[in-house]
Structure 1
Amino acid sequence: MKKIIYTCLMIAGTLTFSGCEDYIDVNTNPNGPDALLQPELFLPQIQSELAVAVQWDGRFTGFYTQNWAYSSGESYSLNLHNNPLSDSYAQLWRAVYWSMGYNLSDMIESGMNSEKYDFVGVGYILRAYGWQMLTDYHGPVIVTEAFNSSQRVFNYDEQEVVYEEIQRLLALGIENLERTDGLSPQDSGLSEADLIYNGDRDKWKRFAYGLLAINAHRLTNKSSYNADEVIGYVDQALAGNQDDATIRFEGTVSSNTNFFGPLRGNIGRYRQTKFMVGLLDGTNPELTDPDLIGADPLLEDSEEHLKDPRITAMMAPSPDGKYRGISPVVGINEWSPEESDLVPKNFWNEEGYTGTSPSPQIYFFNNDARFPLMTYAELQFIKSEAAFISGNKDVALNAYKKGVSSHMDFARQYAPDPSIFDTRREIYLSSEELYPSSAGELTLSKIMLQKYIATWGWGFFETWSDMRRYHYDMDTAEPVYKGFELPDPLYITNNENPAYRARPRFNSEYMWNKEALEVLGAFEEDYHTYETWFSKPE
């Protein structure tokens, strides 16, 4: 009897395990599901994950460019250009390879199958945008072998390969957006699913041309750089602030809230820097005009310079109402406890390190505030720089003026007192020093500093790429970023060099892809200071 029972149990167990294997082994792809959903079910999450990742990692490059500094000063190593080995500093890696990853591939395939070619076009463009941001941040990344489901170890591609792939994807994106067959955005579901442009194909095409301009303009240090090509791309890109690519957030719970909003609590210890405030208060040596001392409508009979109208929209005041910044090395330790009224508030307009409902709101640092991914002003400054370095100063001046004016329009929506903003703006734009009418008065420094203002707080990888193209002004007698000083000292493991790249994500790369990292030298303690391909002269 016991033998019969044992034999029956063995047979049953064999059938059970066989059935489990059949049940579990339903996918042929070990890295992702096989079933294809409709593309509109993928897009909102893909866009949201990508935008949050740009904010997540971009805030760290914001320390390198001195968009802001951590309040504790030099005790926070990123203030000194460190890049610690941790997953905490590589969210964009996770977004591009995992959150987007096969989901984006499936969205594109599903769009093709269902004749929703607008989703296909947007998908290719988002893939290109992800690669551009990722390589801007990390340098060499995995592209050629990235989504090969048969591999477990992946080799890195140099940036030159990544840049070419970005161009290929953007061409495919534009091609699919221009298709006249298939479903319209209203019928395809793109209008409802798209958190950035609400399904506007023309705006997505302009976005693609904007990214082509960014991609081509990164290479100003190469002999192959073509300023006319860059200008041509910009002219086909965003036509005005109405085309700005911004992503919306509901702001009701943490998961649907702007990453920089008080509900998320991520930037409570960040403070604006002296460098940034200097660009807006007339103390920067390039953005100043002696004729504007005593000209501020709120500071009558004062010896202070006219304030840039954007200062009240973008910066956090101190409790005493004045605008100050901190240095990366000293932080808020510059002031004693008795001088607490002099310490800048946080970006939620509150003292301390937390916030609830900013009143008035500072820039886009709120729970439901839209966050920029590309703007018209940004592209105009790219055009201005391209024209300037190619000797076409009239085109450079025209684009410079459009960049300054359009960013003031953008910032005005956050101004606590629009009438004061407008008064200051009128005075500011009448200055030949700040807003020259002659091409001969325009300088490269003015272009890049105004671009720095226009991309502050969101265009982190753009600004960091610019500073790396100019090598932080370390080897020039005529600095482009006048008034900017690297922290002294830099972090001890930097060997006196500033940051040029971020380390790959720890969990996926340093744990499972070690051989590929050895080739890069990524186990060296100063790896993050290695210059990347795009900024090297050739």
Structure 2
Amino acid sequence: MRKIICASLMAASLFATTGCESYLDVNTNPNGPDALLQPELFLPQIQSELAVATQWDGRFAGFYTQNWGYTTPEDYPVVLHANPLSDSYAQLWRAVYWSMGYNLSDMIESGEKSKKYDFVGVGYILRALGWQNLTDYHGPVIMKEAFNSEQRVFSYDEQKEVYVEIQRLLNLGIENLERTDGLDAANSGLANSDLIYGGNREQWKKFAYGLLAINAHRLTNKSTYDPNKVIEYVDKSFTSNADDALIRFQGELSSNTSFFGPRRNNISRYRQTKFILGLLDGSNPELTDPVLVGADPAAAFEGQHLKDPRLVAMLAPSPDGQYRGITPEVGTYEWTKAEAAFVPKNLWNAEGTSTTPGEQIYFFANDAKFPLMTYAQLQFIKAEAAWIANKKGVALDAYRKGVMAHMDFARGYVTDKAMFDQRKAAYLASEELMPNTEAGLTLSKIMLQKYIATWGWGFLDTWSDMRRYHYDLGNEANPVYVGFTLPEELYPSNQGMPAYRARPRYNSEYMWNKEALEKIGGFDENYHTYETWFSKPE
């Protein structure tokens, strides 16, 4: 892996200012560089690969959480919580072990040797983010032996061990970012190569604390869970939307375009579900206010409940101008051909599978910045932690901050800002939707508002939340996710259970690492329904 040739860094050159020609002359070995490359040549590719992998696998995790469904559900059994043997559902696996892999190790080593400690810090944080996403998605993963070039088969590590390693890496990242020796961001090259924060060390430190909060908060079902530690981490993390971790895409070519953009044509058959629609149109029992029925200012919605102002920013209308969602196991078959005007458009605001976009919806554009972590998300984590700690006043404050922060985030995607602000004022004035007292706040409100704030990007966080609450199975009388229902009939191989993990990547594990996979039950037809460690009561 150290013999990295120019072609392997072509993706990086699309984002960085330095092209292949500028470092071809470092070679005395005709097969590749015989010395470590500077860390700034690694970082853009690593960041973009991790973001694209999150989007890639998020398409499928998004089926489990009902962020969206598929127009023809029989073509995608993942809608029914299946997880067939395929590479299609394991791009994060490829990113963590291959695209990032040794490249990230080399970036860290190069940063240490060249005294570019900001790259070292960012490198450790990105490694931790890769492990967090990978283990939350797959459960047991290969960690200790992952980058041993002498091995050809690799043993799996339990998720509990991976979680500890994530904490270690994040603390190392913070330590390196706090170093005052070495080169600063302007002279190290981090300012020009960092696609997320432009080399801002303080924001990277806040990101690390945010990930520590996520890591610690996953363990709400453990006796060792410490909500006060989670609150402490959040308070050291983002302070406003200005700290949001957003990765930018140029959108000029397929290789530098967002995976969710129409140019790449990856989600043309995806449609919003009835669940997310209900959270935004006032029909969900937990996020409704009878006083607001008939209060929407738009003539098209006369007589209807006030629309959450974020609805027009996030979701696609039907051709007739109304907003609808699909039932995952039904898809667009709910409507006849004569009712084509009722079928929701795709997330590029186009009918059918067209890739010719209409007015932009949310971040589903070729050059739209994609979130990896946001202030609103972290405030809802704080709100839930405070709720668990019986600090209801802290929970209420964080809840309100989270809602308002996401409102501000969504406002950037609407054209009629006056209408947005009118709806927002009515929404914020509602005691039902925006309680001013502790008595009006519920755990369900916290989690449903977090679902809204992470919809379309925070797939693994949302799926982890739903697994922590076990999809409300056995808690139907007092559900956390009010209005959410699993498909009536899950995929046959699930044996009646919803998905709790994704299978490891087929081409590497099921083809070449069979013995290790057999030890963890990876060949069982219902392996993907085995509960992950973090969600188990302990």
State the TM-score, normalizing by the size of structure 1.
0.93
User: Which residue of 2 is the match for residue 122 of structure 1?
Assistant: 122
- Paired with 1:435 and 1:105, the residues of 2 have a C-alpha distance of 46
The answer on whether the counterparts of 1:74 and 1:80 sit within 8 Å (CA) in structure 2 is no
Q: Deviations over 1:27-77 (max 9, x none)?
A: 9xxxx9863100000000000101000000011000000000011134420
Counterpart secondary structure, 2:144? coil
Q: How does 1:397-476 map to 2 (within 5 A)?
A: 397-476=396-475
AA aligned opposite 1:360: E
Counterpart secondary structure, 2:63? helix
Q: Deviations over 1:127-164 (max 9, x none)?
A: 00000000010000011111111111110000000000
The answer on whether the counterparts of 1:74 and 1:331 sit within 8 Å (CA) in structure 2 is no
The answer on whether the counterparts of 2:64 and 2:499 sit within 8 Å (CA) in structure 1 is yes
The answer on whether the counterparts of 2:261 and 2:366 sit within 8 Å (CA) in structure 1 is yes
Computing the radius of gyration from Cα coordinates, the structure with the larger value is 1
Counterpart secondary structure, 2:512? coil
AA aligned opposite 1:516: A
- Paired with 1:74 and 1:510, the residues of 2 have a C-alpha distance of 25
Counterpart secondary structure, 1:182? coil
The answer on whether the counterparts of 1:143 and 1:156 sit within 8 Å (CA) in structure 2 is yes
AA aligned opposite 1:467: M
Shift of 1:25: 11
User: Which residue of 2 is the match for residue 382 of structure 1?
Assistant: 381
- Paired with 1:110 and 1:420, the residues of 2 have a C-alpha distance of 52
- Paired with 2:290 and 2:360, the residues of 1 have a C-alpha distance of 32
Q: Which moved more, 1:145-154 or 1:223-232?
A: 145-154
Q: Deviations over 1:294-315 (max 9, x none)?
A: 1111148943110000000000
Q: How does 1:17-96 map to 2 (within 5 A)?
A: 35-96=35-96
- Paired with 2:279 and 2:301, the residues of 1 have a C-alpha distance of 22
Shift of 1:266: 0.1
The answer on whether the counterparts of 2:296 and 2:303 sit within 8 Å (CA) in structure 1 is no
Counterpart secondary structure, 1:271? strand
Tell me which stretches of 4 or more aligned residues in structure 1 moved more than 4 Å: 24-27
User: Which residue of 2 is the match for residue 8 of structure 1?
Assistant: none
The answer on whether the counterparts of 1:73 and 1:330 sit within 8 Å (CA) in structure 2 is yes
The answer on whether the counterparts of 2:197 and 2:245 sit within 8 Å (CA) in structure 1 is yes
AA aligned opposite 1:196: I
Counterpart secondary structure, 1:239? coil
- Paired with 1:301 and 1:535, the residues of 2 have a C-alpha distance of 41
Q: 1:420 to 1:301 in 2, by over 3 A?
A: closer
**Which structure 1 segments of 5+ residues have no match?**
1-23
Q: How does 1:342-353 map to 2 (within 5 A)?
A: 342-353=342-353
Q: 1:187 to 1:423 in 2, by over 3 A?
A: same
Q: Deviations over 1:482-514 (max 9, x none)?
A: 000000100111001000000000111111111
| Residues paired across the two proteins, number | 511
- Paired with 1:502 and 1:25, the residues of 2 have a C-alpha distance of 41
- Paired with 1:302 and 1:265, the residues of 2 have a C-alpha distance of 35
Q: How does 1:48-197 map to 2 (within 5 A)?
A: 48-197=48-197
AA aligned opposite 2:443: L
Q: Which moved more, 1:415-424 or 1:71-80?
A: 71-80
Of all paired residues, the percent bearing the same amino acid is 72
- Paired with 1:43 and 1:450, the residues of 2 have a C-alpha distance of 33
- Paired with 1:383 and 1:153, the residues of 2 have a C-alpha distance of 41
The answer on whether the counterparts of 1:373 and 1:459 sit within 8 Å (CA) in structure 2 is yes
User: Which residue of 2 is the match for residue 295 of structure 1?
Assistant: 295
2:310 pairs with 1:316: no
Q: How does 1:234-245 map to 2 (within 5 A)?
A: 234-245=234-245
- Paired with 2:294 and 2:413, the residues of 1 have a C-alpha distance of 25
Q: Deviations over 1:311-368 (max 9, x none)?
A: 0000000000000000111100000001000000000000011223x33100000000
Counterpart secondary structure, 1:246? strand
User: Which residue of 2 is the match for residue 519 of structure 1?
Assistant: 519
User: Which residue of 1 is the match for residue 478 of structure 2?
Assistant: 478
The answer on whether the counterparts of 1:294 and 1:300 sit within 8 Å (CA) in structure 2 is no
AA aligned opposite 1:156: Y
- Paired with 1:230 and 1:432, the residues of 2 have a C-alpha distance of 28
- Paired with 2:429 and 2:532, the residues of 1 have a C-alpha distance of 41
Q: 1:506 to 1:431 in 2, by over 3 A?
A: same
**Which structure 2 segments of 5+ residues have no match?**
1-27
Shift of 1:416: 2.7
Counterpart secondary structure, 1:354? coil
Shift of 1:415: 1.1
AA aligned opposite 2:405: S
- Paired with 2:321 and 2:305, the residues of 1 have a C-alpha distance of 16
AA aligned opposite 2:342: L
- Paired with 1:243 and 1:367, the residues of 2 have a C-alpha distance of 23
AA aligned opposite 1:138: H
- Paired with 2:474 and 2:33, the residues of 1 have a C-alpha distance of 51
Q: 1:354 to 1:300 in 2, by over 3 A?
A: closer
- Paired with 2:123 and 2:287, the residues of 1 have a C-alpha distance of 41
AA aligned opposite 2:63: F
AA aligned opposite 1:403: G
Counterpart secondary structure, 1:373? strand
The answer on whether the counterparts of 1:82 and 1:491 sit within 8 Å (CA) in structure 2 is yes
The answer on whether the counterparts of 1:74 and 1:328 sit within 8 Å (CA) in structure 2 is no
Counterpart secondary structure, 2:371? strand
